[in-house]
Amino acid sequence: MVFHTTVVPELLENELDESVNARTTSLSSFKELGPLDLVHLVKSSSKSSKPIGTYYYASCIDTSSSAAVAAYLTTLISTLGEEQHWLNRTAHWKTQSAICCSYNAFSRVDVRVLIKIPGSVESYIVDDRGDKRPATDAIWTETYLSAMVRSLLFADNENYSFITCWRRLNPLQTPELTERFFESFEALFFRGPGLGCVSEVQNATIVNNYLVDAFIKFVKITGKYEEAISVLSRLAKIDSDVLAITARVMLQNNDEVKAVQVMGNGILANPRDYNLLELQADYCAGKGKLEWALDCAIRAVNSAPAEFLPWARLVKIYTKMGNYEQALLTLNSCPMSTAKEIDLTKVPQPQSVLFPLPTDGVLKEIWNDDKPESVTSYDQSLLKLPAPTLKSTFAKAYELLTEIVSHIGWDALLKYRSNVFVMEEEYRKEKRVVRNNSIGTLKSANGILAKPDEVKDKRSTEEEEESLKLKEEEEAEADKMKTKRLCERWLDNLFMVLYEDLRVYTVWRAEYVHYQSQQMEYKKHSLDWEALGMVAWRLRHEDEAADAFHHALEQRFSNRVMWKLLEYYEHKGDNANILDAVVKLFAWNHRWYNEFSPKLITALRNLVAAEGATKIASKIEAKYAPDSIVELMDSALKDLTTFKAIGTDS
């Protein structure tokens, strides 16, 4: 995709080289994929007595060789020019040097290329002790693949949305680049577990790790399924566990017959391969074969009882089967893990920030965010709801819980909850009964404790019968308690989180209906609409969520809201609105130096497959001309043509 090259964001340092020095200090703290690439520039001016340092973050610079990195820096220096704005004044700044730092997640070193003007280029690696040494060809291969994995996995990841001055480059501009990725992936595949894995996976394996996650996403974006399966077939000859990845890729390509054969053969060879069993359970559930899916899911859980994902799949299947008590019990048994901290460099607060506007790819309705708000205040309580703060397995478990409540409602959920879990009042009552029985006493009808002999002497026959009845009821309750389980504290907390979401949603819908019945305008701040929409979305009321999102966008554009609407339109198969959302998100991303979004590329690819590139281009031209967003979208469509995506030959 052809984007502007003369405009980049920059952060101004307080002290020269503080960003590079902070990165060097932080190297020993990086645990997994490492931070984004760092580009640092040293500039001088005739109006200033000392040079200044500026920097920004990037993904994915071509780090396959020192020459490729040097070419990027040289182009950057030449296109920036000398006239740059800092501190509200114009000065002629001349770049003295530029350095690019890219973290090699395989060897745990930082690879750096330094250009000095005029003329010299130096490349080296820095380890976690700060020592420098030359970079080998093997190191460059690892560095390239590390950068590709970060680019693919960080691009649409909300955990990195807070990073300012991040330029996301497009790593997929020519088919030749895909060949390099496949070659590097195959060469380093068995070292993938060393990169780490998502927090929902207990331990990284050759099937579950960041390298495989990036590979799956890469294949989906490029559509290079044949090449991917060819690579995986060679790897499967070394380790049969690779068959689980092969089956996933085949299913992603809608090649179900071959995928089923691969899953079947793989499970016959290794009946305890939980990855294949869980994948097969998902496939069977999707085909409505819930009994088959249940069998596969139970076997997957038995094969990997410490892994969250097989348990989560089992919860989903019980929910689909309407066995909500078992779904809750299974959810309660899920092994939980906390979210991992991302690798970041702790850099001092910059002196100032420069966000120059690009001159192309403009969509005025997105960029002109100066529409006055109709309401001046917003509801702070909506921003303090606990659900958005959930991370890792707890966020996934909450999704499972909301799926259950969407089927049966809150009251029925509480009923099932009391049937399978010991409630606090029941627990206290059981302890009281056990304590009473252990000291050889019975509780009389009026609650006074007495020794059995004294009771016999003093009670009438009626009182004895009533006492015996009470004892039988208590014993029956005790027997019932033995079949129940204690609710895990984290799940108990999720019930409270769910209650808060449901309370907010119920009040909002009641108010909304009331205002409509009175033919009164229901006014909310755009942030309120956005928060309410997110509540409805979490509770799986998609239509109500979309309505709230539309109200929010009427007041101001929000890329977060538009992403949710894109997901909503894709679920509905609404191609017209999908295209509108894709164009607006392309414009927003372009404004913030984002040249690469796997989600947007996939959405555009699906549109082109459904309607053809020519028709899509015509629709964009008809609606958005003469805005320069048309040229931006034409460039995106050409990228799909380069990779021979379905629909580009129409």
> pLDDT, tens digit, for every residue of 496-536?
999 999 999 999 999 999 998 998 989 899 999 999 999 99
Nearest to 223, CA basis, from 290, 280, 269, 178: 178
How is residue 306 annotated by DSSP? T
pLDDT above 80 for 141: yes
More reliable by pLDDT, 314 or 628: 314
What's the CA gap between 298 and 311, in Å, rounded?
A: 8
pLDDT at 91 > cutoff 80: no
Cis preceding linkage at 118, omega within 30: yes
343/110 Cα distance (integer angstroms): 13
DSSP 594: B
Q: Is residue 439 exposed (0-12), middle (13-18) or buried (19+ Cβ within 10 Å)?
A: exposed
Assess whether pLDDT exceeds 90 at residue 273.
yes
Helix axes 489-517, 526-538, angle to 10 degrees: 120
Share of the chain above pLDDT 90, in %: 75
Q: What is the mean pLDDT of residues 274-281?
A: 97
The yes-or-no verdict on residue 183 having pLDDT over 60 is yes
- Nearest CA among 59, 65, 50 for reference residue 96: 50
- Report which of residues 276 and 465 the model is more confident about: 276
Q: Rounded to whole angstroms, how far apart are CA atoms 244 and 288?
A: 22
Q: What is the pLDDT of residue 440?
A: 46
Give 40 or 472, the one with higher predicted confidence. Answer: 40
Q: In this structure, are residues 267 and 276 in contact, taking their beta carbons and an 8 Å threshold?
A: yes
Percent of the chain clearing pLDDT 70 (strictly above): 87
State the number of CA atoms in the 13 A half-sphere of 330 facing the CB. 27
pLDDT at 85: 55
What are the start and end residues of each CATH 1.25.40.10 domain in the chain?
175-333, 360-383+508-643
Cis peptide before 284 (omega within 30 of 0): no
* 237: CB partners within 8 A, 6+ apart: none
Over range 543-552, report the average pLDDT. Answer: 97
Strand-strand pairing, 442-443 and 52-59: unpaired
For residue 364, what pLDDT is reported? 80
pLDDT for 580-606, tens place per residue? 999 999 999 999 999 999 999 999 999
Say whether pLDDT at 418 is over 80. Answer: yes
Lowest mean pLDDT, pick from 49-53, 98-102, 282-286, 371-375: 371-375
Record the tokens describing residue 637, joined without a space.
């469509």
Residue 597 half-sphere exposure, CB side, CA atoms within 13 Å? 22
Amino acid found at 145: L
What is the C-alpha separation between 409 and 540, in angstroms, rounded? 12
pTM: 0.89
pLDDT exceeds cutoff 90 at 456 = no
Residue 143 clears pLDDT 60, i.e. is over it: yes
Structure tokens at 424: 């606090």
Cβ atoms 282, 244 nearer than 8 A:
no
- Mean pLDDT across the stretch 156-174? 90
Residues in contact with 8: Cβ distance below 8 Å, sequence separation at least 6, in sequence order: 56, 76, 80, 167, 356, 593
| pLDDT, tens only, 12-45 | 999 999 999 999 999 999 999 999 999 999 998 8
What confidence tier does 444 reach under pLDDT thresholds 50, 70, 90? Answer: very low
Distance separating alpha carbons of residues 478 and 550, to the nearest angstrom: 53
Q: What is the mean pLDDT of residues 156-181?
A: 89
- Provide mean pLDDT across the span 167-180: 88
Per-residue confidence (pLDDT) for residue 46, from 0 to 100: 75
Looking at residue 539, what is its pLDDT? 98
The values of phi and psi at residue 9, to 5°, are: -80, 155
pLDDT tens digits along 332-358: 999 999 998 899 999 999 999 988 888
With 0-12 CB in 10 A as exposed, 13-18 as middle and 19+ as buried, what is 170? buried
Mean pLDDT of 418-424: 85
Q: Over range 634-644, report the average pLDDT.
A: 92
87-96 LR contacts (CB < 8 Å, sep 24+): 87/12, 87/352, 91/45, 91/47, 91/48, 92/45, 92/46, 92/47, 93/43, 93/44, 93/45, 93/52, 94/43, 94/44, 94/45, 95/41, 95/42, 95/43, 96/42, 96/43, 96/44, 96/51
Identify whether the C-beta of residue 132 lies closer than 8 Å to the C-beta of residue 49: no
Residues 6+ apart with CB under 8 A from 479: none
Confidence class for position 464, pLDDT limits 50, 70, 90: low
What's the rounded Cα separation, in Å, for the pair 316 and 327?
7
Does residue 121 register a pLDDT over 80? yes
pLDDT at residue 449, rounded to an integer: 38
Rounded Cα gap, residues 313 and 305, in angstroms: 12
Summary mean pLDDT of the chain:
89
In this predicted model, which residue has the larger pLDDT, 85 or 23?
23
- Are 128 and 108 contacting, i.e. CB atoms less than 8 angstroms apart? yes
Q: Is the pLDDT of residue 428 over 60?
A: yes
User: Among residues 435, 210, 255, 397, which one has the least CA distance to residue 313?
Assistant: 397
**In this model, does residue 466 exceed pLDDT 90?**
no
Tokens for 252, please give them: 């992603």
Predicted pLDDT at 442: 35
Q: Is the pLDDT of residue 375 over 50?
A: no
Omega before residue 35 within 30° of 0, cis = no
Does the pLDDT value for residue 615 go beyond 80?
A: yes
Q: Indicate the pLDDT class of residue 638, thresholds 50, 70 and 90.
A: very high
pLDDT exceeds cutoff 60 at 476: no
Which of 95, 69, 97 has its CA nearest to residue 82? 95
Q: What is the CATH code for 175-333?
A: 1.25.40.10
279-302 mean pLDDT: 97
Higher-scoring residue by pLDDT: 94, 439: 94
CA angle 585–586–589, rounded 5-degree value: 80
What is the spatial distance between Cα 488 and Cα 485, in angstroms, rounded to a whole number? Answer: 9
- Whether residue 90 has pLDDT greater than 70: no
Residue 643 has pLDDT above 80, yes or no: yes
In this structure, CATH architecture of domain 360-383+508-643: Alpha Horseshoe (1.25)
